[in-house]
Structures are given as structure tokens and as C-alpha cells.
């Protein structure tokens, strides 16, 4: 059988890189999307191609740009002529206190977390239908329980959750659409970085009292990609954080 093809957005680092690795190990040909992390993406592709020739490609696109999102969909189809799996993983994450929030922050967080995922899904829908493929969206447990100080991010992820449910209906019966909602997996970086004390406070409100790993998310993506009778579902991979009673 011809190897299936997966496009993973935001795939150069962190959770996206782990998803890419797991899918590749299962025989997928992988399209590694990146924006700024082209060096890391290229390095990963080179390593994978050394082990299995022509099994990885890199595509760069700014998901804030509608023309670049359209170009990403077109170029992804040009790689091997098909898309069997779309993993909408790319995301911006940083605080936006209500009184200081800006139009630019709104556009950035909505575009990267929601709009790009929607239009990539739309533009790749025909190929996904032909392949009887699937879409997996990286949602967030805060799509259901807003994260204080992060209203725009929480709104964007809530939109992605509803997009998952909506597209499961729109694309049935040919394409399955599911989501994975991570809890405390990898601590945020740069503008969103939090103190060790804040990290510990989060873990205290997690039933398993520890962080998960990027592989926990990647393995859940792999599970959903291989399940032919699951659609319209969002699996929380959060150590029980969403069940914690205040």
C-alpha cells in the first residue's frame, strides 16, 4: 500500500515535532509546516529522509496570512498528490489582559489557533474525502474553562472546539474529525512563561500531580488517526486537571 501523507502545522518544535516523529515511525510521509523555525524543521526532515528517503518535506507559511494559508494547502498537495491526515497543531499563546488587549493580538491568536485551521481543512477537504482521511485539531482544556488573563486565546480554542464538532458533521461520512485537548504538558515559553511557583500551583490542581509529555499527545493523535469509528470527539490529555474540583 502507498504510504499515507500527514500535514502537521507548527511541526518543527515541541508537541508538533513529537507528533511528526510518531506519525513517521508509523509509516506516514510527513509534511512539516513551520513559520519561524525553519532551521529546526529542515534538520528534522533531513534526519528522517536519511533513514527513509523522501519521507519528509518542509513547508514554510505564516498562518496569519490568508494567501500563505492557501499556498500551504496547495503546496502540501503538490508534495505527494494527496493528504490523508491534517493535524492542526500550530498555535500562538500569550496573555492578553482585557484592558490592554489589541486588534493585533486578536488577529494573531484567532488566525493561528482557529482561522488557519478552518481554511486549511476547507482547502484540503476534497483530498481528505478521496483518501477517507481525518483531521485532528489540537484544542485545549481551556476551551471549556477559560484561562484567567488569556481571554482571546481561550476564545480561539473554544472556536476550535466547535470547529471540530461542526466539521465532523460537514465532512461525514468520508472524513473523521476529532480533537486532542492537552493540559499541563510543556510549560510555555517567552512572553507566556510562568514562574516555578505558578507551575507548582497548576500541578496541585491536577489529579496526577505531574506534567505530561509531548509523546502523550502524539500517541493520542496516533490513536485517533487509526480509529475508523470515532468522529466528533475531543479527548482531554490533562492528568485529570479538567476534573479537579475547586
Q: What is the pLDDT of residues 24-74, one digit of tens each?
A: 999 999 999 999 999 999 999 999 999 999 999 999 999 999 999 999 999
Output DSSP code: residue 146: P
pLDDT at 1: 58
242 confidence band (pLDDT: 50, 70, 90) = confident
Mean pLDDT of 112-125: 98
Question: Catalytic residue positions?
Answer: 153
162 confidence band (pLDDT: 50, 70, 90) = very high
Angle at 85 between CA 170 and CA 75, to 5 degrees: 100
Whether pLDDT at 115 is above 80 = yes
Distance, in Å, from the CA atom of 41 to the CA atom of 49, rounded to the nearest integer, reads 12
Write the CB contacts of 218 (distance below 8 Å, at least 6 apart in sequence).
15, 18, 19, 21, 22, 23
Q: What is the pLDDT of residues 8-20, one digit of tens each?
A: 999 999 999 999 9
β-bridge partners, 60:
34
Phi/psi for 51 (5° steps) reads -85, -35
pLDDT at 198: 83
pLDDT at 192: 65
Structural contact between residues 178 and 155, judged by C-beta atoms closer than 8 angstroms: no
Q: Which three cell numbers stand for residue 4?
A: 499515507
190 confidence band (pLDDT: 50, 70, 90) = low
Phi/psi for 58 (5° steps) reads -120, 130
Task: Please write down the HEC assignment for all residues of the chain.
Answer: CCCCEEEECCCCCHHHHHHHHHHHHCCCEEEEEECCCHHHHHHHHHHHHHHCCCCEEEEECCCCCHHHHHHHHHHHHHHHCCCCEEEECCCCCCCCCHHHCCHHHHHHHHHHHHHHHHHHHHHHHHHHHHCCCEEEEECCHHHCCCCCCCHHHHHHHHHHHHHHHHHHHHCCCCCEEEEEEECCCCCCCHHHCCCHHHHHHHHHCCCCCCCCCHHHHHHHHHHHHHCCCCCCCEEEECCCHHHCCC
What structural domains does the chain harbor?
A: 5-235 (3.40.50.720)
193 confidence band (pLDDT: 50, 70, 90) = confident
Output DSSP code: residue 32: E
Percent of the chain with pLDDT over 70: 97
Whether pLDDT at 172 is above 90 = yes
Whether pLDDT at 246 is above 60 = no
* Average pLDDT score, the chain: 94
Taking phi over 0 as left and psi of -120 to 50 as alpha, with beta for the rest, 27 belongs to: left
3-state secondary structure of 48: helix
Amino acid at each position: 500500500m502507498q504510504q499515507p501523507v500527514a500535514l502537521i502545522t507548527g511541526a518543527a518544535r515541541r508537541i508538533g515535532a513529537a507528533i511528526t516523529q510518531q506519525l513517521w515511525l508509523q509509516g506516514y510521509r510527513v509534511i512539516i509546516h513551520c513559520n519561524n523555525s525553519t532551521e529546526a524543521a529542515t534538520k528534522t526532515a533531513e534526519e528522517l529522509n536519511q533513514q527513509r528517503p523522501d519521507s519528509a518535506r518542509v513547508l514554510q507559511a505564516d498562518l496569519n496570512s490568508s494567501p500563505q494559508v492557501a499556498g500551504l494547502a496547495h503546496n502540501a498537495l503538490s508534495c505527494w498528490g494527496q493528504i490523508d491526515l491534517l493535524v492542526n497543531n500550530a498555535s500562538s499563546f500569550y496573555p492578553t489582559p482585557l484592558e490592554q488587549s489589541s486588534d493585533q493580538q486578536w488577529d494573531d491568536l484567532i488566525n493561528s489557533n482557529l482561522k488557519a485551521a478552518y481554511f486549511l481543512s476547507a482547502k484540503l477537504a476534497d483530498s481528505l474525502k478521496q483518501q477517507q482521511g481525518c483531521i485532528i485539531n489540537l484544542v485545549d482544556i481551556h476551551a471549556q474553562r477559560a484561562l484567567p488573563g488569556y481571554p482571546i486565546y481561550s476564545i480561539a480554542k473554544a472556536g476550535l472546539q466547535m470547529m471540530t464538532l461542526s466539521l465532523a458533521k460537514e465532512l461525514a461520512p468520508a472524513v473523521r474529525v476529532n480533537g486532542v485537548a492537552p493540559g499541563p504538558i510543556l510549560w510555555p515559553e517567552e512572553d507566556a512563561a510562568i514562574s516555578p511557583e505558578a507551575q507548582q500551583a497548576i500541578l496541585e490542581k491536577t489529579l496526577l500531580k505531574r506534567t505530561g509529555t509531548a509523546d502523550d499527545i502524539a500517541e493520542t493523535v496516533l490513536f485517533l488517526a487509526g480509529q475508523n469509528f470515532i468522529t466528533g470527539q475531543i479527548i482531554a490529555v490533562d492528568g485529570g486537571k479538567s476534573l479537579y474540583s475547586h
